[in-house]
Structure 1
Amino acid sequence: MSFLSRAGLESRLRDAGFLLREAMNWPASLGILLGGVVLLPFLPLGVGLYAVPRLLGTLNLLAARAQGRAAGYAGAVVPFDRRVLAGRKNFGELAALVSAPETKRDISWLLFHCAFALLAGCLAVALPLAAVLYIGTAPWWTLFPQSAPLDFAVPVTSWSAAGFTVLLGLIYGLAAWLLPPWMARRLSGGTLAILSPRRYDELSLRIQDLSAARASALTAHAAELRRIERELHDGAQNRLVGVVMMLGLAQRAAESDPAAAMPFIGRAQDAATEALAGLREAVHDIYPPVLDELGLGGAASALTSRSPISCSLDVQGLQRAPAAVESAAYFVLAEALTNAAKHSDASHIEVLLRTESTPREDVLVVRVNDDGRGGAAVAGASDPAAGSGTGLAGIARRAAAFGGKLYVTSPSGGPTELRVELPCAF
């Protein structure tokens, strides 16, 4: 029969396996629920808020794993990244954390999981065992003494009672075949439905992310314009003024003594050469031509070769990205190498460039590790709100302009790890 085929048996085993895994995770869910109930009376007093991050962090981890199991069972893709709960928070941030939509979804899933996971797992095991026990044991009722007969739903003391028990076992077997797929679909579907943000919430978060990225892009654009204007004003413009002055002096000198005009012409030529070099440098900082010539991998090799600190470069898995994204990655790497050379006292730097694929988009990852003294994050240099556009603050602002993120791990004493993620479909 088709429903007893090998594929059908494998499907039922997969359903039962999923239900058993959920049942095995039920004690952890119950523990978090009981911990929250114990903590709840202390929340209005404010004291309990300080235990919230650890409790919610554990709940977030359990929910993320449950979401992964449900998505793996259902063959679904989770189209969003779960939040990361890390770092110390003040009283207001803790209160906002408790009332966040993500927290409400996690708590709803916790109640759902505590209510149904254990029951579904137990049924997935008990029904087939009961079917085997009833069907396999009832026909042998004559082997048991009258004083201690088989006793299932009814005492098996006659062939009619044995037939009824076998029939009951067949019903259990049919239930064991039909119920696990239904329970597994409901449990996985309920988990994904509860933990996935509502469309409105998802759109709101997307709008917020786009607004933040737009603001960062405008800020970065304004900072870039100011930098270019400053470089042109202090560099090429001053040198061109010197050219005009030298040519004017040469003209006046040529009227009386042509030979005396030659030094001024030479100075004007030198100033013009310097002005041309300044203009080339300003253009290079807007979009390095080496990116067009060699690609990001070749441009990164040129950067690391010029670093005063020994560098190793790994570009395995790097794919081409939009020109704007590659340009941002180039300047991120250049700034990171400059920071390491100025502040880290490192003897070696490891640079990794690669493209990571996610369900939503490809992400260009720039990772820079140095064995220096560390302390960058502790000193607050990684705060995107700080600084004027250089250093880690500038890197964070440049990444945010593309909807990317900066992660810095820099304990005191080192080492320092800088990771920048730039979405390729910004």
Structure 2
Amino acid sequence: MLTKILARGVPACGYLFIRYLRGIVLLAATPLGLLLGWLIPDATAGLVKLANSERDRAARYLQQPAATPLPDALARQSGDVVTLFKDKSFWRSTSLLLLPPLVIAELVIAVCAVFAAPSAVLAMVLWPLDPGGFTLFGVPVDSWWKALVFGPAQILVGLGLLGWVAPATARWHARLTLGVLAPSAAQLETALLNERVAELTRTRAGAVDSHGAELRRIERDLHDGTQAQLVSLAMRIGLAKQTMAADPEKAAKILDDARDGAEQAMTELRGVLRTMYPPILADRGLAGAVSALSARSPIPVELRVGELGAVPAAVEAAAYFVVAESLTNITKHSAAGHVDLLLERRGPKLYLAITDDGIGGARVNEQADLLGRGSGLHGMVHRVEAIDGQIELQSPIGGPTTVEVILPCA
């Protein structure tokens, strides 16, 4: 019982003590802030930061998720009163000035909660050293009957304050802080829009970079592979044309070589096209394409495919390449013996989860590490985020590794 009381009361009293100290400092600084705040932009910006700090502490005390902060104070020049009056975050933050008067009463509760029981024990034990010098409930203790009557009563009251009243007061103060300093609905909407714009800017930049890298890869493959084969084919046909009259057999052999070169060039060209949009998606759909990838994997894959419904082409391509890259990474780096692959529709979203029982330790890196790991995952992240999807990698050392992808289909 005592342990529970201490576990509730000590953090509550600590919270109230700190609120008192900050409230007194704020109360002392208020006159100067009101006089000079309109001249000093940093003063108003600091008040907003202090309000956000109070909200964070209140949320942590209540063991709630991090509180949505007030937007930063508007940028303004010294003496710019017009901008100051338009600053909603500043006016919300001025609600802090209403809290200091409350902390005095809260301090009394915290002090009584902390010291009532210990002081009662000391008075009960030490009163014979100084009869009448110790008090219990304000009554001088000069006899044992007073010590044995008022002492336990004060201990019980102190434990009640510590175990119930102080925590209730601290919770009330924290909820009041969260409510009074909460951003308005318009500010919340603006903050969400700003976060969305920042997220879209980041993902679109990543998509552009990924797209540029993909174009350079395709150009390199065409230049080093297909183009070289076609140039060689043209030269062989020209040589066969020159030798046709003088040596028909040699010309026929050259044309046979040219035919083989043409077939090889077509094979390489199909390979390049397959990396742009796999034909198997158009032929067999996403479920069939993923089944084919799983069947070709050298590591056994347990595939579970739910009802997918209509899936946009961009989403199909992203999911296909995520599966292909994941299975490639697992084969190369994981030392896994088994892979679980789940693909299903969850409302308006496509859900994909790939889990292997390998050694773990996978990380998303812009550049491949010494073992060649990481860059493929980085490309997967860009491909998924480019269509507003979400990807999460969990790969502790020792495994297992799980890649979860959620792609919007609406």
Quickly say closer, same or farther: Cα 1:205–1:275, change in 2 above 3 A. same
Matched, 1:34 2:19: no
Partner of 2:195: 205
Give a deviation string over 1:122-152, Cα, whole Å, max 9, x none.
Answer: xxxxxxxxxxxxxxxxxxxxxxxxxxxxxxx
Aligned-pair distance for 1:354? 2.1
Equivalent AA in structure 1 for residue 305 of structure 2: V
User: Equivalent residue for 1:284?
Assistant: 274
Q: Distance in 1 between matches of 2:377 and 2:284?
A: 26
2:360 to 364, 374, 383: 374
Segments of 5+ residues of structure 2 without an aligned counterpart are 1-7, 23-52, 69-88, 104-175
* Corresponding residue to 1:262 among 252, 258, 271: 252
Please state if 1:401 is matched with 2:386.
Answer: yes
Counterpart AA for 2:227: Q
Q: In structure 2, do the counterparts of structure 1 residues 325 and 250 end up closer, same or farther at CA, with 3 Å as the change threshold?
A: same
Distance 1:346 1:422 in 2: 26
Map 1:55-94; keep pairs closer than 5 Å.
Answer: 59=60, 62-64=63-65
TM-score using structure 1 length: 0.54
Report the alpha carbon displacement of residue 301 of structure 1 after superposing the two structures with TM. Answer: 0.5
Q: What are the Cα deviations for residues 146-182 of structure 1, in whole angstroms up to 9, with x where unaligned?
A: xxxxxxxxxxxxxxxxxxxxxxxxxxxxxxxxxxxxx
Unaligned 5+ runs, structure 1: 1-26, 42-51, 68-79, 81-100, 116-186
Which amino acid in structure 2 is aligned with residue 373 of structure 1? I
Q: Matched residues, percent identical? A: 41
Note the aligned Cα RMSD (angstroms): 4.0
Q: Which amino acid aligns with 1:339?
A: N
Structure 1 contact 344–372 (Cα < 8 Å) conserved: yes
Aligned partner letter, 1:277: T
1:321 matched to 2:311:
yes
Shift of 1:31: 5.2
Q: Partner residue of 2:230?
A: 240
1:227 CA displacement: 1.3
1:128-277 map, 5 Å: 198-277=188-267
**Aligned 8 A contact 2:203 2:382 in 1:** no
Change (3 A) 1:373 1:257: same
- Paired position in structure 1 for 2:397: 412
1:238/1:408 CA distance change after superposition, 3 Å: same
- Structure number, greater radius of gyration: 2
Deviation at 1:64, TM superposition (A): 5.0
Counterpart-to-counterpart distance in 2, 1:267 and 1:60: 79
Give the aligned residue type for 2:409: C
CA–CA separation in structure 2 for the residues paired with 1:278 and 1:32: 73
How far off is 1:32 after superposition? 11
The CA deviation at 1:261 is 0.8
Does the 8 A contact of 1:300 with 1:330 survive in 2? yes
Partner Cα distance (1:326, 1:398) in 2 = 12
Whichever residue aligns with residue 342 of structure 2, its letter is L
Distance 2:247 2:352 in 1: 61
Deviation at residue 194 of structure 1 after TM alignment: 5.8
Deviation of residue 35 (structure 1)?
8.9
Task: Say if 2:330 is the partner of 1:345.
Answer: no
Shift of 1:390: 4.3
Shift in CA distance, 244/60, structure 1 to aligned 2, threshold 3 Å = farther
Partner residue in 1 for 2:301: 311
Distance (Å, rounded) in 2 between the aligned partners of 1:400 and 1:411: 23
Cα distance in 2 between the residues matched to 1:226 and 1:369 = 31
User: Number of residue pairs matched?
Assistant: 264
Q: Distance in 1 between matches of 2:333 and 2:258?
A: 39
